[in-house]
Amino acid sequence: MSLILVSRDSKISFQVSREGEGRVEEQAYIGELISGIVYFYVGARLLRLAARTGEGPERLLAAMFLFTGVSFLLYDVPIILDSEPLWTPFNFAGRLVYLPAVLLLAIFTHRVFRPEGVWASRVPYAVAALLVVGVGGSVWHGDLEGFTVSSPWFWVEWTGYTLPFAWAGVEALTHHHRARRRFRLGLCDPLVCNRYLLWGFYGAVQVMVSLALFPAYSEYEHDGAFSATWDMLISAGEISSLALILLIFFPPALYRRWIQGAPAENAASS
């Protein structure tokens, strides 16, 4: 099965504080909006591709990107409408819509990288359980937004939406190592080999974004606002993710020529 690859989202949103004490930088909001549009665009393109090829992995990735794009856009609705009352309901909606995206990534990783692994077939169930228990527990205790780091339910949910990206990154980098050896023997297309590497980087970047949520959410929990520093770092992570996604799915001609025309050692390790 060919490897066509996908993404996640972070759950951070950039908005007014609960007390209405101010906004984070407008650039952060614009970055979130652009991210949502790009994710939705990539998902739509993959959905059209899946309609032509009939391949399951394309459908999984298309659905994942579409859910991610909708989630990002939902987080931005209160800012676009400049309505603080919409803050909590739309954050909750964005939070819920993001959950299927993460689960779809776990299913994709199982079917593409570990189709015959018994333990791998159980990972999506574990992810689903972590997400349902984490979100359900936090909602039961009145935390609809999911930003309360001091709550044990936050950590359950965090594990659920971080694990699939860590797993995808490890599997992709492992397959890239094997693909390099096949590439040197002329048995692997250089773009496919490079795509494994980029997908591995994408998983790693998303894990780093998840780690950056700890201090960002801690400040929000105590101060009622996200700090500009963490907003910028998380935005940088999402921008890097978007760049990787575009290189994976829509590599420009110059990049394709560079990968296909580079010497074997350089192309495989690029």
Torsion angles phi and psi, residue 147, rounded to 5: -100, 5
- Per-residue model confidence (pLDDT) at position 29: 67
- Per-residue model confidence (pLDDT) at position 20: 38
CA–CA distance, 246 with 7 (Å, rounded to integer): 11
- Helical segments of the chain, H only: 26-53, 56-80, 87-113, 118-140, 152-184, 190-223, 228-249, 253-261, 264-269
Entry pTM: 0.83
Please list the pLDDT of the chain residue by residue as tens digits (270 residues).
333 333 333 333 333 333 433 444 455 567 778 888 999 999 999 998 888 877 788 899 999 999 999 999 998 888 788 788 888 899 999 999 999 999 999 999 999 999 998 999 999 999 999 999 999 999 999 888 888 899 999 999 999 999 999 999 999 999 998 888 777 766 678 888 899 999 999 999 999 999 988 888 888 777 766 667 777 788 888 889 999 999 999 999 999 999 887 544 444 444
CA–CA distance, 41 with 237 (Å, rounded to integer): 19
In the chain, the domains with their CATH numbers are 26-269 (1.20.1070)
Residue with tokens 């990787």: 244
